[in-house]
Structure 1
Amino acid sequence: MTEKYRKVAYYPGCALEGTGHAYNRSTKEVGKALGLELVELENWNCCGAMEVKNVDPKLQTFLSARNLKIAEDMGFDTVMAPCNGCYHNLKKAEYDLSHDAGSRETVAKLAAKSGDQPYEAGNVETIHALEWIRDAIGTDELHKRIKNSLNGLKIANYYGCMYTRPRHIFPEKDKGPGSESTSKPHFMDDLLAAAGAVNVEFPLKTACCGGAHTLSDSDTSTRLVLNILTTAEACGAEVIATECPTCHSGLEMHQIRAEKVLGKKTNVKILYFTQLLGMALGLSARKVGVNENFSESRDLLKAKGLG
């Protein structure tokens, strides 16, 4: 267990205050249930996940660096970002500021315009919600705290593409036993197994769901999601566990669209991993926002004695 992760700065990002509200709610509730403390960043801004970095990547670096600086000024050396896009962009900003003089120059200029000191690389560590729970509590201790086992619920753990790519911005991964893997991530598997789930062998853990193209090319996104859904079912999964609001929304929306547009119906349910952990820790389905999901999983959860 890592003691410093028991109280960290919390960067929810834009999606968790909108379409990913259930992820925000369930993450906070799981933290409380485990005795972990999240302190939300004051006056945080968008990390520039989509449009901004397409216009100017260095502007996106500044936006993410500003959030890291806020965490530092609040006295934290660790910020937790549950959203894959936010997590990726904060990690990328850290890498760019360490390796690119142009990024450091841009951040310094924009910080000066706003009357702030620029963030300097190396002062704040960014971690994902998976790392936060796994390292702050540990799987053995988590298992001891389970009040309502997931009872062998068969789960395909879906990490999405931004949790592990590009590899060079995640220097803490691929360090052998105990570290996360970029080719076959397992932190979500470890946590849910500790809660009583059965993790199926799922080859598309890090396949792209087409989230960035949902509006510009819905047909491609639907086909990518359908591939993930049908593969999960073929592997025997009853549930796809997610840890990214964009991926989660995409899987839910395109599951519906695949049936309406392509005539392809799938029955696998989509739930945030924090919702599953929360119920295993004894929280109600409503408490962790299952009622906010489009994916209707209540009958399955009741059959497993959850919710």
Structure 2
Amino acid sequence: MAKDMERPKSLKQVAYYPGCALEGTGHAYNRSTKAVGKALGLDLVEVKDWNCCGAMEVKNIDPQVQTYLSARNLAKTEEMGFDVVMAPCNGCYHNLKKAEYDLAHNRQAVEANARIAGKAGHHAYQPGGVETIHALDWIKRAVGEEELARRTAGKLKGMKIANYYGCMYTRPRHIFPQNDRGGESESSYKPHFMDDLLAAAGAENVDFPLKTACCGGAHAMSDADTSTELVLNILTTAEACGAEVIATECPTCHTSLEIHQLRAEKLLGRKTTVKILYFTQLLGLALGLSQRKVGVQENMADPRGYLKARGLG
């Protein structure tokens, strides 16, 4: 186990890497994540001078440069004195974890990182200095289900939710060494952290077999029709499982589900009524925050009427 996973950490205050999507299409996720953290007494300190993690585009052109871009954010986290950084975006979380792995196992990545960091005038990040965690890890480990249940008093009771994690949250397995260790660890095959947190707030999690299916988000521009079909499969399966809501924890997945839900109805005549909400929006509402406070008005597939009917408006 890497040394950063061996030492205990307080997660009451962590470095926060929002990434590009949360300052754009995923702004409601950014807003609701911060609001939930504040309501739970947790503190997020944004990484100073952070940069794009390289997303998918840079990785496809030069994977070593992409590793450097992610490693730079880890170096900036260290410079601030933090040894934990929270990345709520699945793509960012994946890329920062991958950079950690590559710098521990790939000599070319180490050399490229050192060379570019030298030219940029900052120290080259060494693996093991910073632990990257997801928003789900953060709330589960810093607060836990028992305290969350106490704070939310079952406000989501009766709400049937399909928890959708997307394909990058646990893949590939080797860059997530903390998973599949039994006990309270996350599962690569059937992730449950979001299920656990929302159940603590009173929600009924339906048995949803497409938790980690791909939404086609990476191909939304190049092959929109395929993306629509992939999303429609997720939406119709969630409804067939009895879900009223799909809970998300990735801005790309969330946007993809919303856009292609509308596109499927307009182009294919396939209407679905399941609502799409970030898990942080749901937790925020359960904690008594207003719809505006958690950014519900920014969701494209407007869930406000449904939430009001549920007494969450």
**TM-score bin, normalised by smaller chain:** over 0.9
Q: Once the 2 structures are TM-superposed, how far is the Cα of residue 22 of structure 1 from its aligned partner?
A: 0.2
Aligned to 1:99: 105
Aligned to 2:55: 49
Aligned to 1:138: 144
Structure 2 counterpart of 1:273, one-letter code: F
Per-residue CA shift, 1:182-223, capped at 9, x if unaligned?
Answer: 000000000000001000000000000000000000000000
Q: Once the 2 structures are TM-superposed, how far is the Cα of residue 148 of structure 1 from its aligned partner?
A: 6.4
State the percentage of identical aligned residues.
73
Decide whether the 8 Å contact of 2:153 with 2:202 is kept in 1.
Answer: no
> Is 1:123 matched with 2:129?
yes
In 1, the alpha carbon distance for the partners of 2:234 and 2:53 equals 27
Aligned to 1:37: 43
TM-score normalised to structure 2 length:
0.97
In structure 2, stretches of 5+ residues that fail to align are: 1-7
Structure 2 counterpart of 1:214, one-letter code: A
Q: Once the 2 structures are TM-superposed, how far is the Cα of residue 21 of structure 1 from its aligned partner?
A: 0.3
Aligned to 2:228: 222
Q: Once the 2 structures are TM-superposed, how far is the Cα of residue 151 of structure 1 from its aligned partner?
A: 2.1
Decide whether the 8 Å contact of 1:148 with 1:279 is kept in 2.
Answer: no
Decide whether the 8 Å contact of 1:241 with 1:273 is kept in 2.
Answer: yes
Aligned to 2:206: 200
Structure 1 counterpart of 2:226, one-letter code: T
> Is 1:264 matched with 2:264?
no
In 2, the alpha carbon distance for the partners of 1:39 and 1:175 equals 30
Q: Once the 2 structures are TM-superposed, how far is the Cα of residue 297 of structure 1 from its aligned partner?
A: 1.0
Aligned to 1:75: 81
Decide whether the 8 Å contact of 2:14 with 2:43 is kept in 1.
Answer: yes
Aligned to 1:213: 219
Per-residue CA shift, 1:112-131, capped at 9, x if unaligned?
Answer: 10111100000000000000
Aligned to 1:59: 65
- Count of residues paired in the alignment: 306
Aligned to 2:3: none
Decide whether the 8 Å contact of 2:154 with 2:203 is kept in 1.
Answer: no
3-state SS, counterpart of residue 277 of structure 2: strand
In 1, the alpha carbon distance for the partners of 2:295 and 2:122 equals 38
Structure 2 counterpart of 1:183, one-letter code: Y
Structure 2 counterpart of 1:108, one-letter code: A
In structure 1, stretches of 5+ residues that fail to align are: none
Structure 2 counterpart of 1:6, one-letter code: K
In 2, the alpha carbon distance for the partners of 1:129 and 1:86 equals 11
Q: Once the 2 structures are TM-superposed, how far is the Cα of residue 3 of structure 1 from its aligned partner?
A: 5.6
Q: Please, which of 118, 122, 125 is the counterpart of residue 112 of structure 1?
A: 118
TM-score normalised to structure 1 length:
0.99
In 2, the alpha carbon distance for the partners of 1:287 and 1:148 equals 20
> Is 1:156 matched with 2:172?
no
Q: Please, which of 16, 23, 29 is the counterpart of residue 10 of structure 1?
A: 16
Gap change, CA 1:237 and 1:3, over 3 Å in 2: same
3-state SS, counterpart of residue 241 of structure 1: strand
In 2, the alpha carbon distance for the partners of 1:152 and 1:273 equals 16
Moved over 4 A (4+): none
